[in-house]
Amino acid sequence: MIKKLVLLISGRGSNLQSILRACQTGQIIDTKIAAVISNRAAAPGLVVAQAAGIPTEVIDHRAFPSRAEFDIALQQQIDQYAPDLVVLAGFMRQLTDAFVEHYPGRLVNIHPSLLPAFPGLHTHARAIAQGVCWHGASVHFVIPELDAGPVIIQAAVPVHTSDDPAKLGARVLAAEHEIYPQALSALLSGRCKLEEGRVYWSDPIPSCANTAINPVVITPS
Ligand code: GRF
């Protein structure tokens, strides 16, 4: 049976592109992107989706009097596609607890830092300002707390003294494009599972060309 993803975006859509490529090339098998939903009509990622023949929807958050009402509309739209996973791919909206709790174990996000370091915005500038040696990206299950929740996979990249936020951001983004398809492939095939609030991988993760580390493989006892 073909599994279905619904992707939520707000902008560029480069993670959408990496996930789409993974579905097309067989890195992610037996899976289709059922829809891409954006809260911004001008999101360039919508064009990427349309070019690939993926249904797109725009639900403009500004048309709703409250965050809760926007989230209800978003949830109704998503549920029409009955997705196996709801994938946040640069979706720049904080979600209500009710929305998050509607998708237990089915809502995932990518964040451009090594969580729990640097939740929130401007992560690359903050990493440089803090003088950290390593920065990176995390794919994680979404919980009501912002940029928290069980980590599925992380990739670390070095921070160079010559970095500015753009240079460091480009290095992190290349890592994002590797780890999001890996995480989705593993979740969809059951090689990676959420059990009692922790993530377990049943086999080693393929190493990432652009990244320095991969998570430890833990098997539940
Ligand atoms: C990525 O850096 C992602 O980690 C963050 O938003 C950005 C989205 O980029 N959540 P794109 O739209 O996928 O190119």
Q: What is the pLDDT of residues 90-131, one digit of tens each?
A: 999 999 999 999 999 999 999 999 999 999 999 999 999 999
Output the pLDDT for position 205: 62
Q: Which CATH number fits the domain that encloses residue 195?
A: 3.40.50.170
Domain membership flag for residue 19: yes
Domain membership flag for residue 45: yes
Check residue 1 and report its DSSP letter.
Answer: -
**Rounded to whole angstroms, how far apart are CA atoms 95 and 78?**
14
Domain membership flag for residue 219: no
Pocket test for ligand 1, best of 110, 178, 184 (most atoms within 8 A of CB): 110
Q: Strand order of the sheet with strand 85-88?
A: 56-58, 31-38, 3-9, 85-88, 107-111, 134-141, 151-158
Task: Give the range of the structural domain holding residue 46, as residue numbers without chain letter.
Answer: 3-213
Per the annotation, does 191 bind a ligand? no
CA of 86 to the centre of ligand 1 (A): 15
Q: With 70 as the cut, is the pLDDT of residue 211 above it?
A: no
User: Nearest residue CA, atom 9 of ligand 1?
Assistant: 90
Domain membership flag for residue 119: yes
Query: Is the CB of residue 12 below 6 angstroms from any atom belonging to ligand 1?
Result: yes
Domain membership flag for residue 221: no
What is the domain count for the chain? 1
Q: Which amino acid is present at 42?
A: A
Digit-coded pLDDT (tens) for 139-197: 999 999 999 999 999 999 999 999 999 999 999 999 999 999 999 999 999 999 999 99
